[in-house]
Amino acid sequence: MRIMGLDYGSRTVGVAVSDALQMTAQAVETVTREEENKLRKTLRRIEELAQEYEVEKIVLGFPKNMNNTAGERVEKTEIFKEMLERRLGLPVILWDERLTTVAAERILMESGVRRENRKEYVDQVAAGLILQGYLDSLRHDRV
């Protein structure tokens, strides 16, 4: 079974999945939507991907502020978490995502991805970083 990582943004959701051994995260796609609150198609696509990859759990990036306070995005993320749990019937774990988008941008820049193309990939790379952080914590806890 696999674990899915999500980077939830105002217009996009980056998606990543683990390998079957839950050792590494791979970016899958970026789900986009026209308006921030129009989530039906987004939820449907995430459900399709969860079924396709036989996902057993979801790790959702939790966008706390750098000073560890909760901002506006935190509340929206908590609502999205509840929607995912209801729709998919899977556990959703909130995972600190601070600086993952910055790290994703850096990875894409160092990989030679042109600036105009980075926006297309940054959310799915960020989802991969969120998921990889969670997977690494699982391995660390086992030691």
Domain boundaries, the chain: 2-142
**Cβ–Cβ < 8 Å for 69, 86:** no
CB neighbour list of residue 78: distance below 8 Å, 6 or more residues apart:
94
Q: Where are the alpha helices (DSSP H) in the chain?
A: 40-52, 72-88, 100-110, 115-142
**In angstroms, what is the C-alpha Rg of the chain?**
14
CATH class as words, domain 2-142: alpha beta
Mean pLDDT (10-residue bins), the chain, 143 residues: 94 95 94 88 96 97 78 88 97 86 77 79 88 88 58
pTM higher than the cut 0.85: yes
Q: Which residues contact 36 (CB under 8 A, 6 or more apart)?
A: 10, 11
Helices and strands per DSSP (H, E), number in the chain: 4, 5
